[in-house]
Amino acid sequence: MPKFEENFSDSKEIIVLKKLEGNSSATLNANEKILAPYADGLKTAWWILWFIVLAVLVVKFMKLFLNRDK
């Protein structure tokens, strides 16, 4: 693993070069490129799933609470 200074001196130089190229997506691999156009949609889908799971849990625990003495 390079030392801090070595890595930084490299990065400084390439920051300028990449700025001229003006596109960081070149670093994406094949699978990432397939998903990249749908990233925002997937993000929304994951959030929807997260809240659905939360809602299901709340409902399940509420049911258990309401039926606790039965």
Partner 1 sequence: MNFNNKIFNSAAEQKFFSWYRRFFSIEEIEQSSVLHWVFGAILLGFYVTFFRWNDSSMFTVEAVKKGTYICWPFFQNCGNWYFLSNLPYGYSQTTLYMFFFVAMVLIILAMWQKEWVAAHILMMILFIWEVSAMLLTMAFSANYWYFHLIYTFVLLFLSSKLFFLRFFFVLFYFLAGSVKIHEGWILGTYFTSLETGLPIIPNILAPLITNAVLFMEIVGSWFLLSNRAALQRVSLGYFLVFHLYSGILVNYTYPTIALPLLLILFGPLNSVFPPFDKKAILGWTLALALIIIQLLPRLILGDAKMTLEGNKFGLYMFEANHQCISTTKIYLKNGTIEESRNESASARARCDPYRYWFPLKQTCKRKAADVERMSWQFDHSINGGPFYRIVDAGNVCVLEYQPFRHNQWILLPENDAPIIGYPVKNFYY
Interface with partner 1 (CB under 8 A)? 1-2, 4, 7-8, 10-12, 14-16, 18-19, 21, 23-24, 27-32, 35-36, 39, 42-43, 46-47, 49-50, 53-54, 57, 61, 64-65, 68
Question: Which one, 7 or 59, has the nearer CB to partner 1?
Answer: 7
Q: Residues 21-53, buried b or exposed e (16+ Cβ, 10 A)?
A: eeeeeeeeeeeeeeeeeeeeeeeeeeeeeeeee
* Least distance (Å) between residue 28 CB and partner 1: 7
Structure tokens at 47: 């959030």
Shortest distance, position 56 Cβ to partner 1, whole Å: 9
CA pair distance 40, 58, nearest whole angstrom: 27
